[in-house]
C-alpha cells in the first residue's frame, strides 16, 4: 500500500527517526543544510542549465550505490522511493527550482528508507553525502565531483599548503621511513634525513598507524610544535620541530648543456613563484650560455587557473593568455599578459602528452598561439573546462564545472586539446631527422594547415573535433627520450625553431619570429 505523507509530517517523522537505532547516519537538520547548499550551488553555477528537481532525483538514485534494491520515481507530481516489495517514502514534489525543498525531500526519503535497508542503516553520514552528491553530479559532466571532509582537507592542503614539518614518508616493511626532506622546511633546518625512520610522535609510538593517521599527527597549525622520535641506523634521535606552511613542490630543474628543463607536475599556489626563482637561478649561472627553455608538462593534470596564467606571463610580454566563458556572469573572464618578466626573451619548447590537462593545456595553448613556444609531443587530454570549488557546511567540497577555456586564437580546448607542431606519436623519424626537416620548413602532418582547421572548429562539431584529435592521437610516452632529444636539438637550431614557430602560430610571419632578440640581449 502506498503511504502518502504531507511534507510537514514527513519532516517531523524524519526528525523522530534520528533517535531510532535504525536511522541512517545523518542528522536531519545538518544534512538538509549541507544538501540544500550544494544543490543551490549546482543550480546557480553549473555550465549547463539544471534544476534542483533533476539533480535531487539523480542524487536519490545515487542511494542505489549503497543499496541496489532502492528505486526512485517522480509520477503525477509525487516523489516515491521504493524497494522491490513496497514504497518506503512518498512526498509531494517541490517546485523544480526549490533547492531547499528538494534537499528536505532527499534527507527525509533517505532516513525513511533506512528503516527498511540494512545497508543504509550501516552507512555513515559521509557515505550518504557521497552517494547523493555523486549521483547529483554524475550526469552533469565527468569533472564535477564531491569530496568528503577528509579528502577535501587533503585537496586544500595540496592547493594552498598545510602546517607541517617538510618531509615525505612511505610505509616500508611496517616502518614510517622518510623518503624526502623539503628544502628550507623545518625538518631540513634541523637535519632530518631521507632514510630516517619515525618511531614516535609526541611520545606516542607510530607502529601500526596507517598513512592518514601518521599525516594527521605530523600536521597541525602553523607555528605549533611537534616532538618526533627517529631511528637513524643504530642511533635513536629526538627533535622538536616548529611547523611551518608547507606547499608541495611542483617544479624541478635540470640543465643539459645550455638548455634548461623545467618539469612542472601540477599547478598549486607556489608553482609560478618556484618557476620564476629557479629560472632566475639558471640565468645567473648560465648567463649568455642559456640557449633556451623546455617546459615539460607531460603527465601534468592541471591545478590552479591563476597559477597557470602566471606561468605563461613569465614568458609572454603582451596579449591574451586565456579566456573563460560560462553561464554564470562571474565565469566569464579574460587574462592578459603584462610586460617585464624574466623569460620573455627566451626561446621556448613545451612538451605535452595525453595526460597533460586543464591548466597544463592553458600554458601550452597560450604559448603556442602567441608564437612563443613550439609544442612537442602528442595531443593533450582535452580537458578544457574550469572548475570552481564550493566548500560545504559539512567541510566537504564540490568541484563544479562552470566555464570553458578558450585559447587566445578563440578555439575551445574542451574535447580537443592542444595539437603539437611536432608530433612524436607513431613517428619513425629520429629527433635529428625531424629537426633537419623543420629547418627546411617540412613538418610531419602539415601542422599549419591542421591548426588552421583546429582553431576554427566549434565546440558542438563533435565529429570534426574527434577526427582532428586523431591526427596526433593522445598517448602517454613511457620513456619520453624522443621528445626531450627533439626539444634540445630544436632549441640548438635557431632556424628550425623559428620555422616550427611560424608553422604553429596564427597570423605570425617567419620574418617577425626570426627577429626575436636572443637570450643575451634581454633583461635579466
Joined together, the cell numbers standing for residue 49 give: 542549465
Closest CA to 414 of 39, 38, 48: 48
Contact status, residue 247 vs residue 240, Cβ threshold 8 Å: no
Helix axes 52-61, 99-113, angle to 10 degrees: 20
For the record, the C-alpha cell of 10 comes out as: 514527513
Give the chain's length.
Answer: 524
Q: Is 488 a catalytic residue?
A: no
Is 138 in contact with 67 (CB distance < 8 Å)? no
Neighbours of 38 (CB within 10 A): 28
C-alpha grid cell, residue 23: 536511522
Helix axes 431-439, 494-504, angle to 10 degrees: 70
First CA to last CA across the chain, in angstroms?
80
Which of these is catalytic: 358, 365, 370, 409? 358
Contacts of 159 (CB under 8 A, 6+ apart): 268, 269, 303, 304
The verdict on whether 307 is a catalytic residue reads: no
Residues 6+ apart with CB under 8 A from 13: 5, 108, 111, 112
CA–CA distance, 22 with 121 (Å, rounded to integer): 6
Q: What are phi and psi of 248, to 5 degrees?
A: -55, 140
Contact (CB, 8 A) for 455 and 411: yes
Catalytic residue chosen out of the listed positions 157, 365, 383, 409? 383
Which residue spans within 265-354 are E strands per DSSP?
A: 292-296, 320-325, 333-336, 348-352
Q: What nine digits make up the cell of 490?
A: 630544436
Q: Which residues pair with 240 in a beta bridge?
A: 227
| Distance, CA of 433 to CA of 379 (rounded, Å) | 21
At how many degrees (to 10) do helices 481-492 and 431-439 cross?
30
For this structure, is 233 an active site residue? Answer: no
d(CA 419, CA 403): 22
Q: Are strands 348-352 and 292-296 parallel, antiparallel or unpaired?
A: parallel
Q: Which residue has the cell 607531460?
A: 298
Backbone angles phi, psi at 207, to 5 degrees: -55, 130
Q: Which residues are catalytic?
A: 358, 369, 383
Amino acid at each position: 500500500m502506498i503511504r502518502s505523507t504531507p511534507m510537514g509530517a514527513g519532516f517531523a517523522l524524519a526528525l523522530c527517526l534520528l533517535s531510532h537505532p535504525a536511522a541512517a547516519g545523518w542528522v536531519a537538520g545538518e544534512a538538509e543544510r549541507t544538501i540544500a547548499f550544494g544543490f543551490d550551488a549546482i543550480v546557480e553555477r553549473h555550465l549547463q542549465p539544471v534544476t534542483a528537481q533533476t539533480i535531487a532525483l539523480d542524487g536519490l538514485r545515487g542511494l542505489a550505490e549503497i543499496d541496489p534494491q532502492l528505486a526512485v520515481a517522480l509520477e503525477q507530481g509525487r516523489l516515491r522511493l521504493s524497494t522491490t516489495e513496497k514504497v518506503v517514502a512518498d512526498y509531494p514534489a517541490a517546485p523544480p527550482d526549490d533547492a531547499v525543498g528538494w534537499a528536505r525531500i532527499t534527507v527525509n526519503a533517505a532516513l525513511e528508507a533506512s528503516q527498511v535497508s540494512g545497508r543504509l542503516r550501516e552507512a555513515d553520514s559521509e557515505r550518504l553525502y557521497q552517494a547523493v552528491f555523486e549521483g547529483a553530479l554524475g550526469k552533469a559532466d565527468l569533472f564535477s565531483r564531491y569530496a568528503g571532509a577528509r579528502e577535501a582537507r587533503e585537496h586544500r592542503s595540496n592547493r594552498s599548503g598545510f602546517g607541517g614539518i617538510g618531509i615525505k614518508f612511505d610505509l616500508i616493511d611496517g616502518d614510517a621511513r622518510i623518503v624526502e626532506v623539503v628544502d628550507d622546511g623545518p625538518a631540513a633546518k634541523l637535519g632530518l634525513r631521507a632514510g630516517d625512520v619515525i618511531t614516535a610522535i609526541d611520545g606516542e609510538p607510530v607502529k601500526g598507524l596507517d598513512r592518514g593517521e601518521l599525516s594527521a599527527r605530523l600536521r597541525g597549525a602553523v607555528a605549533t610544535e611537534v616532538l618526533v622520535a627517529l631511528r637513524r641506523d643504530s642511533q635513536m634521535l629526538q627533535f622538536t620541530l616548529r611547523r611551518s606552511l608547507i606547499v608541495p613542490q611542483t617544479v624541478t630543474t635540470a640543465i643539459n648543456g645550455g638548455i634548461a628543463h623545467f618539469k612542472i607536475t601540477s599547478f598549486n599556489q607556489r608553482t609560478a613563484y618556484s618557476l620564476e626563482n629557479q629560472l632566475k637561478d639558471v640565468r645567473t649561472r648560465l648567463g649568455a650560455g642559456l640557449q633556451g627553455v623546455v617546459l615539460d608538462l607531460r603527465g601534468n593534470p592541471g591545478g590552479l587557473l591563476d597559477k597557470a596564467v602566471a606561468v605563461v606571463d613569465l614568458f609572454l610580454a603582451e596579449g591574451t593568455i586565456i579566456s573563460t566563458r560560462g553561464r554564470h556572469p562571474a565565469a566569464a573572464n579574460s587574462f592578459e599578459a603584462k610586460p617585464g618578466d624574466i623569460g620573455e626573451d627566451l626561446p621556448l619548447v613545451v612538451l605535452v602528452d595525453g595526460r597533460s590537462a586543464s591548466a597544463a593545456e592553458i600554458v601550452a595553448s597560450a604559448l603556442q598561439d602567441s608564437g612563443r613556444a613550439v609544442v612537442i609531443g602528442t595531443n593533450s587530454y582535452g580537458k578544457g573546462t574550469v572548475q570552481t570549488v564550493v566548500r560545504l557546511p559539512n567541510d566537504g567540497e564540490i568541484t563544479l564545472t562552470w566555464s570553458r577555456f578558450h585559447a587566445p586564437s578563440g578555439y575551445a580546448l574542451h574535447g580537443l586539446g592542444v595539437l603539437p607542431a611536432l608530433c612524436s606519436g607513431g613517428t619513425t623519424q629520429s629527433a635529428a631527422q625531424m629537426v633537419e626537416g623543420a629547418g627546411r620548413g617540412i613538418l610531419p602532418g602539415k601542422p599549419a594547415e591542421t591548426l588552421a582547421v583546429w582553431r576554427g572548429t566549434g565546440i558542438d562539431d563533435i565529429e570534426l573535433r574527434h577526427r582532428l584529435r586523431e591526427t596526433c592521437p593522445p598517448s602517454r610516452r613511457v620513456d619520453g627520450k624522443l621528445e626531450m632529444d627533439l626539444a634540445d636539438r630544436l632549441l640548438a637550431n635557431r632556424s628550425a625553431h623559428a620555422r616550427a614557430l611560424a608553422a604553429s602560430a596564427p597570423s605570425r610571419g617567419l620574418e617577425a619570429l626570426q627577429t626575436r632578440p636572443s637570450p643575451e640581449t634581454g633583461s635579466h
